Amino acid sequence: MPLGRALLDLVFAPICLGCDGPIAPGDAARLICRRCRARLPVPPAPLCARCGAPRLRTGRQERELSCRECEHWPPAVRAARSACLLLPPADRVVHQLKYRGWWALAQPMAERMAAVALPPDVVAEARVVVPVPTTAARRRERGYNQAELLARGYAKRTGRQLLRALERSTGASSQTSLQPAQRAANVSSAFRLAAGVERGLLAAHIILVDDVLTTGATAGECTRVLVAAGARAVSIVTFARAPTVREVPT
């Protein structure tokens, strides 16, 4: 470590955004301490082959291609994977990114996401990364869309292309100015296709990126829009996944 930085660290010891503890001198990470990084709760195997839900209590066999978590998802959703469960300290880290303005956290978070193993066919097919959009008002308020920051970092680290293919509508918006392909894709009230992205979606397997996967409803709505615009399949990658009752061992 350069002497100047070592001195600065003595005076202004960086504080971990996961636990408020000081980050140890010599730790190259400046935002999340080594202990918190080690404590991020990885979803315990075995996972549902499709949605990545831990099968602790789903009672399903590994050869089955879906579980109660994902059996109602749109058929075009091929797989979902998350870097960790939304338990301490991951919940705190997500909160800091989303509500506390710590946009730089997206980099270490995207790094964890890029390290998550995807099914081999997804790795082979998926070349395009699409972030789940936020509303224009929220983006103005925060200054960024956290899902887009994660998607950008994820795309860069995995050698894929970022495509901002979706927009979030704030309410009933007029469709009169939309092109036919946009209209066809505009099946959901919450999401619509961005202008000029059809070529990038055609017959593509898309990786949809968000900060948290909860029920899959948001991802499902995005999937319907992408598929209506010509995408062939969608896989979902998030930093965290909400734990459900079935995932908690008793």
Binder of Zn ion out of 48, 149, 151, 163 (CB under 5 A): 48
Q: Closest CB to Zn ion among 36 and 208?
A: 36
CB of 24 to Zn ion, least distance (A): 10
Q: Closest CB to Zn ion among 70 and 132?
A: 70
Binder of Zn ion out of 31, 43, 60, 69 (CB under 5 A): 69
- Tell me, what DSSP letter sits at residue 39? H
Binder of Zn ion out of 67, 113, 197, 233 (CB under 5 A): 67
Part in contact with Zn ion (CB under 5 A); list of ranges 18-26, 107-115, 136-144, 206-214:
18-26
Report the distance separating Cα 140 and Cα 144, nearest Å. Answer: 7
Binding of Zn ion by 16 (CB under 5 A): yes
Strands 205-213 and 77-85: unpaired
Q: Closest CB to Zn ion among 51 and 83?
A: 51
Q: Which tokens go with 39? A: 């404590």
Binder of Zn ion out of 14, 15, 19, 187 (CB under 5 A): 19
- What would the DSSP string read from start to end of 172-208? S---TTS-HHHHHH--SSSEEEPTT-HHHHTT-EEEE
Return the residue matching tokens 């896989």: 235
Return the residue matching tokens 């880290």: 93
In the stretch 155-184, what mask flags binding to Zn ion with x, by CB under 5 A? ------------------------------
Q: Which tokens go with 160? A: 């894929």
Binding of Zn ion by 33 (CB under 5 A): yes
Torsion of CA 215, 206, 159, 84, to 10 degrees: 10
Binding of Zn ion by 78 (CB under 5 A): no
3 state SS of 110:
helix
Chain residues binding Zn ion by CB under 5 A are 16, 18-19, 33, 36, 48, 50-51, 53, 66-67, 69-70
